[in-house]
Every structure is written in structure tokens, then in C-alpha cells.
Amino acid sequence: MRTYGIYVLRRFGQFVLVVFIGINVAFLITHSTPIDPVEQAISSATQFGFSDPTAVEQLRQSLRELYGVEGTFWEKYIHFWTRLAVGDFGPSLSAFPTSVSALIGRALPWTIGLLTTSTLISWALGNFLGGLAGYYRENRILKAIGIVATGLQPIPSYIMSLLVLIMFGFVWPIFPISGGFQMNLSPELSFAFVRSVVEHSILPVLSLVLITIGVWFIGMRSIVSNIVTEDYVLYAELAGVDRHRILASYIMRNALAPQLTGLTLSLGAIFNGAIITEFVFGYPGVGTLLVRAVGTGDYSLVLGITSISIIAVATGVFIIDVMYPLIDPRVKLT
């Protein structure tokens, strides 16, 4: 158990490092670009006909205070971290006077739900089918799935979502293509509402699953086809162990460990994909919020979402890391 403690501590160190470097990158970007974020925000805001000079001057004044552009480099740096620590990114410009934290807090559950559902489906299904394909190499159906997976793997999120949208929005319109739930329903725990949420999530989840399943399938297939040639598998076969048992507990279980590591490594990329997919389907999550914030010139919202995303992904990685001993108990023992 002590070794597990050390393991968790090391992973926590990595978590802190990811958050630290990520937030520093965000800080450097916002403070080293030649563009003054305040002027940028004002020019974006006044673009849409908001140009009473005294109001602009007031806006400029309050933004300068808010963003902490006054003071030395270190003062600004400390200011940045303090605001992050208390989760205060100031009010949103486009949805004034709602605070940025409230907007993100409202959107984050949607993103987390979408991300968890699609990742679980894709990872489980991809690994299961990939494992079968690696073990039963001559199976026709599995070979066909392999070809489809190879074709799906390189297609990036936006194109995949667009294809799904065209498929089920224009060619064969059977699912709702936009939003998180039906407009006339109020968010409550009723059957109609839950059903509407599930219906609206089908297409985004489908796109996300299609984007990532190829990676898990192909990865698992190649790992399993390597393990199959190991002596202990041959021995188990000769000893008459049931083939299903060989596949499940002798081969798949061993192959899952690198696949779980792969999941932690690609969590950032999966998150990127979710953001883009949300934007395509107008899903009320962080991604749609981010794209809208960029469109309306809402600087504090963009910065807030960037920071929260970094922390959210790092947390996700940490959670998976902590669960790692479930699949590979050696972490606990040695």
C-alpha cells in the first residue's frame, strides 16, 4: 500500500506540473503578445455598434483593473494566479453581468457528460473489438471492421462531425442536430427532459466515438497480435485452457495496461475533439461557449475557459492514473 501512495504522489506531481506549465503558457500568451487585450476586447465590443465614448472610456478603465494590466511583470503574474486560485475571472463581456465562472460552471457538466459517455463507449468497444481482431485474425467481419477503423482513424474531429451532421441532418434526418435539449422543455428531472437530452446527445456522441474508436481498435489489435505469440499463451492453449478465458484474462488484461496509458496521453486531444464537435452541433458545453466567446470578443471568457480546460484535463488524467492499479496490480506490489 505504501508503494501505491508513492505512485499516487508521483502522479499528483505530474498533475501539478501540467497545470503549472499550462497556466504559465496561457499567461505568457496573454502578456507577451504585442496586442493589448483590453484594446482588443474594446475593438471587438465596439465592432457591433457599441460606441458611446464615455461608456468606452469607463469600459477601458474597468477592464484595465480587471485584467491587471497595471503594474510590473511580477505583480501581474501574482495577480493572475490569485484570480485563478479563487476561480474569479471577472464578469463576462458578452453576457454582462454574469460572471465567467458562472457561465463555465453552467457549461462544464454538459462537456463532462459528453466526454465521459463517448470516451467510455469508444474505449471499451474499440478495445474489445480490437482484441477480438488480434486473436481471431482470419475472421471476415473483424477484418472488415479493421478496414473501416483504418479509414476512420485519420479523419479529424471537425470533418467527422460535419459528415455525421450532413448524414443525419440532411440526407437522413432522424435525430435532432443542434442544442442540448428541446427548447420548450425546462431543465428538470422528468422523463421528457431526460429523453430529450439523450436524443440530442446521440449525434455528438456518435461523432466522438467514430473519431476515436479507430485508434483504440488498431492499437489493441496490434498489441494482442504480439501477445498471442508469447510462450505463456501457447502453454495455456496446450494445457487446454478455454479459448475465451485465454483471450479475456491471459491476453486482453495484459494488453489493457498500455491502452489505459494511451488514454491518459490522448485525453487532451480527445478534449480538443469534444470542443470542436460541440461547436458543430451547437451543444451547450464549454466548446460552444469558447467559439462564441471568440466570436463576440469576450476576452475574459476565452481566458477563463482556457485555464479551466487545462485544469479539467489534468484532473481527468490524474483520475485515470489513480485507477491504473485496477488493471495492472503490479503498481501496488512492487
Binding site for another protein (CB under 8 A): 14, 17-18, 21-22, 25-26, 29-30, 33-35, 37, 40, 44, 150-151, 153-159, 162-163, 166, 169-170, 264-265, 267-269, 271-272, 275-276, 279, 290-291, 294-295, 297, 299, 302-303, 305-306, 309-310, 312-314, 317
Q: How far is the CB of 189 from another protein (least distance, A)?
A: 31
Phi and psi angles of residue 91, each rounded to the nearest 5 degrees, phi first: -80, 150
285-294 long-range contacts, CB within 8 A, separation 24+: 285/107, 285/108, 285/110, 285/111, 285/114, 285/180, 286/104, 286/107, 286/108, 286/110, 286/111, 287/111, 288/107, 289/103, 289/104, 289/107, 292/94, 293/92, 293/94
Q: How far is the CB of 70 from another protein (least distance, A)?
A: 18
Smaller CB distance to another protein: residue 21 or 234? 21
List the beta bridge partners of residue 91: 99
Alpha helices in the chain (DSSP H): 2-32, 37-46, 53-67, 73-85, 100-135, 140-152, 157-166, 191-227, 231-238, 243-245, 253-281, 286-296, 299-323, 330-333
Q: How far is the CB of 177 from another protein (least distance, A)?
A: 11
Q: How far is the CB of 169 from another protein (least distance, A)?
A: 8
Smaller CB distance to another protein: residue 106 or 292? 292
**Quick check: 133 and 217 in contact, CB under 8 A?**
yes
Smaller CB distance to another protein: residue 56 or 269? 269
Q: How far is the CB of 244 from another protein (least distance, A)?
A: 28
Smaller CB distance to another protein: residue 26 or 246? 26
Smaller CB distance to another protein: residue 23 or 327? 23
Smaller CB distance to another protein: residue 162 or 228? 162
Q: How far is the CB of 225 from another protein (least distance, A)?
A: 11
The kind and range of the H/E element at 327 are none
